[in-house]
Amino acid sequence: MKTKLIVFAALALLVIAGVSFAQGRTDSAAVAETISCPQSVVSGLEEVEGETVVCGTVTVPANYDDPDGSTIDLTYGILKSTSLSPAADPVIYLHGGPGEAELTELTQTLRNKFATLRERRDVIVFDQRGTGYSPGEVECSAAYAGGYDEAAERVQNEGFEGLEVAGEVQNVLMETCVEALEENDVDLSVYNTINNARDVAALADALGHDTYNLYGLSYGTKLGSEVIRQNPPGVRSVILDSVITPEVKFYEQMPEANEESFVNIYNMCLADEACAEAYPDLIERLNGLFEQLDEEPILLDDGSEISSESLAALLTNSANLQTGVWQVPYFPRLIHELEQGMTDTWSGLYDYSLIPSETTNRFTAPSSDIPFSARRMLNTANDLARQSESLDNSAQKVAAQALELVEETDMTPTNLFIRTLDERRDTPYNAFEDYNYRVEFVSLPLQEASPATLEAFITNHFEGVDETILLDVVDQMSEEDVQELYDRMRTDERAANLLFELNFALHLYVCNEDVPYNTIEGVQEYAENYQIPGLTRREIGKTTQVLEACDVFPAGTAPESFHDPIMGDGSIPIIVFSGTNDTQTATSWAKEAADQFIGSQYVNFPNAGHGAINFSQCAQDIAAAFMDNPEAGVNASCTPDLVPRFVLPDDPLVPLS
């Protein structure tokens, strides 16, 4: 969840400099215009607008076949290279989604993700058409606000209950938006990957770059593949990380990524003699455990239970995220113990008592002692401290200032819940988790205003410490506090904007180009062949829900040729990355893509989830080495060191060093 904190806004005002960089070329068809960065883009003490970060816009045709028609302003940001002699060819980042906008993360997560690449090159980040700060003509806030009462009336009259409300609210509001846009003659079919690829070339040209490199992540690899197909002049090299190419039936096949992730993890165990001996036949045993938990969940001392759903969530979510990948070495032992009704490892993973010390924050205290709204500033302090020991004093001052500023703000239970909810969702992007979360968040104020409804929402989307913290906040709320919360959510346009930011843009792309190439019948056909059904059934429901919502959108507007395999002609050096633990894009898709692209290279990173360069310096260094010399073979000798050391049954149950 991308949250705009008062404390960060205050800090940003102290460090933003109004220096302007002239960009663009007079002979370019499109010219880049430098603008002040949006407030949420530049935060923290590390980046200075006009010096290390520059923002701007490039105007492109909404429809390239009608250059005199309507236009879209693409908003971009540039992380300037930290080198005193940077390479002339920058990196253009193609973000995931589709529909996810990442410009707001420019000076937060993206500065860390691209730290190594940035040592040699500028990194250009832009919100793709129809997303974030590049909405084009797709603006629905007013339509959502007007349609909210209709959505409430419909779900009440038709007797929807619980989470059923979420899907119905989503459909009503998105239908309202589509109708409003079509009444204004907005052509929704132009928001697609083919035009996104044209936008990439227009952006590079407007910024004056004769040559440039691409780094695509997740949906960005689909976009990168389309750029390779169009083969515009100037593309020097391409990194495709966590791959989904256009010919993959993503919404039919998506659940197989969960299964492959666990199989890959178990294969790493089998490659270790001690682990293989300690945990034989683990796939069959996991299937048996899912059946066992379906019949009778394990009841814990605190009244909660371990169900097949919660086990599947742990095995898939934690393996895929930087924040939880430390749990992977415990997976075989966890299954081994749960078969016997033992919960020691489960408890250690959920209460974070097994988290390695090097992953904990330096400035932490019990959650009851620190207002949650200080979390981002504390993270800034941590980041400063990690950069250099000499900055420890500065970091501590920032942390103290964060606490002082937050203590001066309104800390009513309602505000505390909203801020806490936002900050606990500040995790790496997951298209399906965020999709369902935002839909259900919007539907909350249409349900009964009760602690039980809030608790059901929390337990459905959070786990471990995050779940405990949020439930504790709800426990402290009175009936009046809960009603105030619902009233605020009911009238706050922010809820509608959340739906627009991801769900509408997601469907805009999916319905235009993935339907009818993907079908609900196809989802079911794939479902019949999974070898670990307990890991796939949740995603089967989610993908079905996504495809069903295309009933209210224009669908099937992409040409059939869009899904043809892309081989390239070998003129563009390509390297494909995958992570063994990736539960969003299957590793087999990446390997197939690497085999398909003429002359490409392939690297698989052990114990990495979605977005391999997020997980290790090894991946970042290989990416940088490739871009420095894309014609040469990369040295991937650092990857074997990433294989986790699995915890054996008789090992002390302590954090791994």
- 634 by Cβ neighbours in 10 Å (0-12 / 13-18 / 19+) ranks as middle
Count of C-beta atoms within a 10 Å radius of residue 627: 24
Please tell me the distance from the alpha carbon of residue 276 to that of residue 281, in angstroms, as a whole number: 9
The per-residue pLDDT for 643 is: 97
**Helix, strand or coil for residue 402?**
helix
The per-residue pLDDT for 298 is: 96
**Helix, strand or coil for residue 71?**
strand
Cβ neighbours of residue 123 under 8 Å, at least 6 residues apart?
Answer: 78, 79, 81, 90, 91, 93, 110, 114, 117
The per-residue pLDDT for 197 is: 98
Angle between helices 451-461 and 431-443 (to 10 degrees): 170
Please tell me the distance from the alpha carbon of residue 324 to that of residue 298, in angstroms, as a whole number: 23
Q: Are 243 and 219 in contact (CB under 8 A)?
A: no
> Domain locations in the chain?
6-136+190-249+564-631, 279-358
The per-residue pLDDT for 154 is: 74
Distance in Å from the first CA to the final CA of the chain = 31
Amino acid at position 343, single letter: T
**Are β-strands 91-94 and 53-61 bridged in parallel, bridged antiparallel, or unpaired?**
unpaired
Cβ neighbours of residue 85 under 8 Å, at least 6 residues apart?
Answer: none
Q: What is the mean pLDDT of each run of 10 residues along the chain (657 residues)?
A: 34 32 42 88 82 96 94 96 97 92 87 95 96 87 68 70 65 84 93 97 97 97 98 97 96 95 98 97 98 95 89 91 91 98 94 76 33 41 45 47 46 75 54 58 73 86 79 87 80 53 84 95 94 93 86 92 96 98 97 97 97 96 98 97 97 89
Paired strand residues for 92 = 124, 214
**Helix, strand or coil for residue 183?**
helix
Count of C-beta atoms within a 10 Å radius of residue 122: 24
**Are β-strands 71-79 and 53-61 bridged in parallel, bridged antiparallel, or unpaired?**
antiparallel
The per-residue pLDDT for 56 is: 97
User: In the numeric block, which tokens belong to residue 34?
Assistant: 């430098």
For 603-619, the DSSP string reads EEETT--SSGGGT-HHH
CATH architecture entry for 6-136+190-249+564-631:
3-Layer(aba) Sandwich (3.40)
The per-residue pLDDT for 166 is: 63
The per-residue pLDDT for 165 is: 66
Amino acid at position 124, single letter: I
Spatial strand order of the sheet with 53-61 comes to 32-35, 53-61, 71-79, 123-126, 91-94, 212-218, 235-243, 574-579, 601-605
Cβ neighbours of residue 601 under 8 Å, at least 6 residues apart?
Answer: 574, 575, 576, 594, 626, 633, 634
User: In the numeric block, which tokens belong to residue 42?
Assistant: 């530049």
The per-residue pLDDT for 45 is: 67
Distances (CA, A) of 647 to 290, 345, 652, 656: 21, 10, 9, 9
**Helix, strand or coil for residue 314?**
helix
Q: Are 503 and 170 in contact (CB under 8 A)?
A: yes
Distances (CA, A) of 632 to 86, 298, 569, 585, 603: 20, 54, 17, 27, 14
Count of C-beta atoms within a 10 Å radius of residue 391: 16
Angle between helices 537-548 and 520-527 (to 10 degrees): 170
Q: CA 176, 179, 181, 185: dihedral to nearest 10 degrees?
A: -170
